[in-house]
A and B are shown apart, each in its own frame.
Chain A
Amino acid sequence: MFDNLSERLESAFKQLKGEGRISEINVATTIKEIRRALVDADVNFKIAKEFTDTVKEKALGEKVLTAVSPGQLMVKIVKDELALLMGGDASELDIKNKPTIILIAGLQGSGKTTFSGKLANYLKTKQGRNPLLVAADVYRPAAMDQLQVLADQIKVPVYIDRETKDAVQIAKDAVAQAKRDGNSIVIIDTAGRLAVDEAMMQEVAQIKAAVNPNEILFVVDSMTGQDAVNTAKAFNDRLDFTGVVLTKLDGDTRGGAALSIKYTVQKPIKFVSMGEKLDTLDVFYPERMAQRILGMGDITTLVERAQAQFDEVQAKKLEKKIRANKFDFEDFKEQLNQIKKMGNIKDLLAMIPGVGKAIKDIDISDDAFKGIEAMINSMTPFERNNPERIDASRRKRIAKGSGKEIADVNAFMKQFEQMKQMMGQMNKMKGMGGMPSLPGMPFGK
C-alpha cells in the first residue's frame, strides 16, 4: 500500500543527502518531487500544493543536527504533517446508545455491503455486541441477497423486507424490531448513489431524519481519484457524516483519497477495510498510516494481528516440544495455519519496515504454502510425528501423493531439518521465549 508514494518520497529525500542545512535552493526540488508524488498518489492537486507549502515553511531554516541527515529531517517533517493532516488520534465508534444506529452511505461499488458485514462481525466478535443488519438497498438487483449471505456467514440476524419498496420505511421498521428484540446495534446498509442524484440524496437524508443515527459512515473506495474531494463534500453537506471508511486498501499504490477527504471534510477516518474475508477490518490510525506512506512499515498492525490469532495454550505446548527438540510436521502445519489466519501473506509482509518496497513486484499468493501443505497432508500420522523415519520409499510416496517431484520433497525435508537445527540453537540461548520464527520458509513453490 502506498508503495509508489514511499518510493517517490525516498528518491526525493535522496537529493537532500549530504546538505548541512535545509535551504530555499536545496528544498525546491524535493518539494516539487513530494508534490508530484502526492498527485501521482491521487491526492487532490490543490491539497498537495497546500500541503507541500506547509512542509516547505516548516523545513526552511531547520538546522540539521549532526545525528540526522537532512533527508531524515524532511521525512520527520513530512510524516508529522501527514499524521496531523489525517487527524490526531485514533477515532473510535460511538456505540454507547442502546440501540446504536449506524447508517452506511456511499457511491455505487464502494464496498458498502461488504463493509456492513465486516462491521457487524467486528462488533460481534471484538466488542461482544449483538448487531442487526438492515438491507435498505431496494434498487440494485440481489443486493438484499448479498447482505443475507454475508449475515449468514457471520451468524448475525438480518432485516429484509422484499415487499416494501421504500428504504425509509424499511429503516424505521428495522429499528423498531431491533428495539423489540434487544439488538444493541443496528447497521443500515443503503443503496449506492451519486452525489449529483438529487432524488437519491434526498432518500438517504430522509432515512437519516427518520432513524436519527448515532454514526453515519461514508464508505469510499481508496482507489478514487481527484473527484474524491467533491463526492465527500457533497455527501457531507447533505448528511454531515460522522466518519469515513476506506475500502479496498489491499490494492497497490495510492490512498491519496484518504488525505484529500480528511483535509476537505475534517471528519475522522474510522476504519480501513482490506480483502473479502469478513474478519479483515482494521481501525484507522493516522500515525500508522503516515508511517506507511513514508515506507516505515506498519509493524504495530502486524503485531496486533498476530496477537489476535495467538493461542497461548498452543504456544506453550509448542515451546515444550521445541525445547525437547521434538518439533514435527504436525506442529509445522499448525504454525502454517496460524500464519494463514492472520490474513493475506503479501499484506502481512508489506507491513514489515523496508519489506513493502522489496516485494512489490513479487507474486506471493495465499497459495504460497499449498505445496508444503500438500506434502504434509500426504504423510501418514506416523510420518508426521517421526520426521526422521521418512526414508526414500516414503518420500517417493509423499511426492506422488502431493503431485510434487521427489526433489521437491527432498528439498522440503532438508529445509525442515535446518529449521529444526536452528530451533535447537535458539534453545541454547537463554531467555528466548515465545513463538519461534520460521527460518528458511520457501515461498512460491
Chain B
Amino acid sequence: MGFFNKLFGLNKEQKESLDQGLEKTKTNFFSKIAKALVGKDTVDEEVLDQLEEALIGADVGLNTTVAIINKIESRIKNEKFIRTAALNQVLKEEVMAVLTDAPSHEFETFNLPKDKKPYVLLVVGVNGVGKTTTIGKLAYNFKKNGKQVMLGAADTFRAAAVDQLTIWSERVGVPIVKKEMGSDPSAVAFEAVQQAIAKEVDILIIDTAGRLHNKAHLMEELSKIKRVISKQLPDAPHEVLLVLDGSTGQNALEQAKHFTAATQITALAITKLDGTAKGGIVLGIANQFNIPVKYIGVGERMEDLQIFHKEAFVDSIIG
C-alpha cells in the first residue's frame, strides 16, 4: 500500500473507506460500458455512445460529457485507434484533466496555513445538503489533528438549527458561539469572529441557513455576513465552502453560479456520495467554474468526511 500512500496521499484505511463509499457508483458505471466492450478490440462509435450515456447517467451533464467524448474521439483519430483495454486509462486521464486542482496542498491532512489565525471558514449552500453535519465532521477532523476549533451558529432561521449545531459542538468537544433563533446572522458571525480572535483559536467554522440560490434577498444576507467578517479580519473569511448534495443534478451548476456571485466560493464539499448517486456534477462544476472540490462525504462516520484527492476519486469511480 506504500505506493497508494504516495500516489493519492491517503492511508490504506482512507482509501478503503473511499472505495467502499463509491462502490455503487463504480459498479453501475462499469456494467454499462462493459456490455459495449464485449468481443471488441478497439473503441468504436458504439463504445463511445455507451460511454456518453454512462457519463450523463452519472450527472456529469451534457456539455461536459460532450467535451470529454470529443477529446477521446480526437485521441482516437490521432492515435489511430485505442485498444479497449486502454480505454480506462484514457478516460481517467480526460476526466482528471477536467477536475480543477485545489490551490494549495496545505490541507491534505486537515492542516491550516500558519499565517492565518484564526482561519475563518464560512459554510454555505441550499437547504438540506448537509451543511451542519459537514461542519460537525470538519470540527472533529480538525480537532483530531490538534487544532483549536470554534463553531459559529449563524443559521438562526431553520427550526432547531442552533440546537443541532450545539449537539455537534458537545459531541466533538469544541466551543460554540450562538444567539437565540431569529437573531441577525451577521451579528452572530460578528461575535463569533471576535471570540475566535480573543480566544486565539486556530479555526472558526461558521454555519449559515440553507437558502435557495434564486432568492435574491437571502443571497444579499450572505454577502452581508461576509462583509461583517471582513471588517474585523481583513483577509477573512479565508475560505467560503459551498456544500453540494452529491445526488443533485444539473441545478448544482446554478447553485455554484449564484453562490459565487454572492460570496465568491473558494471551495466545494460534496456530500452523500455513499448512496447510488455518482457525484458527476463535480466534473460539470470544475469544467465551468474552476472551483476545486476540497471535501467529500462518503459515509455516516466522522472519518467519512475526507479531503478530496482527484486521483483517488477518479480511481474509485472508474477503477
List chain A positions with a Cβ less than 8 A from chain B: 36, 39-42, 44-45, 107-111, 113, 140-143, 145-150, 153, 194-196, 221, 223-228, 230-231, 234, 248, 250-254, 256-257, 276, 344, 346, 363-367
One digit per residue, 1 when the CB lies within 8 angstroms of any chain A CB and 0 when it does not, for chain B 293-306 equals: 00000000000000
Within 8 A of A (CB), among B79-118: none
Output the least CB separation between B264 and chain A (Å): 18
Cα A256 to Cα B248 in complex, Å, equals 12
Q: Which residue of B lies closest to A224 (CB)?
A: B247
From the candidates A36, A225, A346, name the one contacting B248 in the complex (CB within 8 A).
Answer: A225
Cα A66 to Cα B37 in complex, Å, equals 50
Within 8 A of A (CB), among B249-304: 249-252, 254, 272, 274-278, 280-281
List chain B positions with a Cβ less than 8 A from chain A: 24, 53, 56-59, 61-62, 126-130, 136, 157-161, 163-164, 166-168, 171, 181, 212-217, 220, 245, 247-252, 254, 272, 274-278, 280-281
Do A224 and B249 touch across chains, with their CB atoms under 8 A apart?
Answer: yes
From the candidates A108, A230, A257, name the one contacting B128 in the complex (CB within 8 A).
Answer: A108
Q: Which residue of B lies closest to A193 (CB)?
A: B275
Do A257 and B249 touch across chains, with their CB atoms under 8 A apart?
Answer: yes
Output the least CB separation between A355 and chain B (Å): 15
Q: Which residue of A lies closest to B23 (CB)?
A: A196
Cα A352 to Cα B157 in complex, Å, equals 30
Q: Which residue of B lies closest to A346 (CB)?
A: B214
Do A221 and B278 touch across chains, with their CB atoms under 8 A apart?
Answer: no
Do A363 and B216 touch across chains, with their CB atoms under 8 A apart?
Answer: yes
Residues in chain A near residue B251, CB distance under 8 A: 42, 223, 251-254
Output the least CB separation between A366 and chain B (Å): 6
Do B249 and A42 touch across chains, with their CB atoms under 8 A apart?
Answer: yes
From the candidates A39, A225, A276, name the one contacting B281 in the complex (CB within 8 A).
Answer: A225
Output the least CB separation between A278 and chain B (Å): 10
Cα A346 to Cα B53 in complex, Å, equals 36
From the candidates A45, A194, A196, A221, name the one contacting B245 in the complex (CB within 8 A).
Answer: A221
Do A141 and B163 touch across chains, with their CB atoms under 8 A apart?
Answer: yes
Do B214 and A196 touch across chains, with their CB atoms under 8 A apart?
Answer: no
Do A149 and B160 touch across chains, with their CB atoms under 8 A apart?
Answer: yes
Do A109 and B24 touch across chains, with their CB atoms under 8 A apart?
Answer: no
Output the least CB separation between B191 and chain A (Å): 21
Do B276 and A365 touch across chains, with their CB atoms under 8 A apart?
Answer: no
Cα A332 to Cα B224 in complex, Å, equals 31
Do B53 and A223 touch across chains, with their CB atoms under 8 A apart?
Answer: no
Do A227 and B128 touch across chains, with their CB atoms under 8 A apart?
Answer: no
List, sorted by A's number, 23 A–B pairs whose CB atoms are closer than 8 Å.
A42-B250, A45-B53, A107-B275, A111-B127, A140-B164, A141-B136, A141-B164, A146-B163, A147-B159, A149-B160, A196-B24, A221-B245, A223-B249, A224-B248, A225-B247, A225-B250, A226-B58, A227-B59, A234-B276, A253-B250, A276-B127, A365-B216, A366-B217
A sample of 14 more A-B contacts (CB under 8 A), given A143-B164, A196-B24, is A36-B62, A44-B57, A108-B128, A113-B159, A145-B160, A195-B275, A221-B245, A225-B247, A225-B280, A226-B278, A228-B249, A256-B249, A276-B127, A276-B158
